[in-house]
Amino acid sequence: MVAISGVSLVFAVLGMKDYTMSSDWWTSSDNYDYSYDSFAGTITYILFTFISLVNLSLFTLFPTSLLKTSVVVNGFVYKKYSEEFRKEYEFTDREWYGE
């Protein structure tokens, strides 16, 4: 499920960049130095596409694919409610904290 959402986000970014590059009908590129028709414009669009895909992967794809949700959630729950767990399962301070 995570892979499907990640792939759809990548396609969304690529679609946005394709729309931006093909929207020449919207803005006249005759007097615009960084339009898609020029070499500098092509390099600019490629650079911005690369930067946006890197940002997308860093902030969405990597954390969700590298971290197991159950481990992280259980760790937060155990850390937040550790004293309640200790009391519920009748551990002594010495058993729970050591020494």
Question: What pLDDT digit, counting tens, does each position of 8-64 carry?
Answer: 778 888 887 777 666 655 555 555 555 656 777 778 788 888 888 888 877 777 766
Burial of 7 (0-12, 13-18, 19+ CB in 10 A): exposed
Q: Look up residue 45 and give its amino acid.
A: Y
Number of Cβ atoms within 10 Å of the Cβ of 9: 15
Record the pTM: 0.39
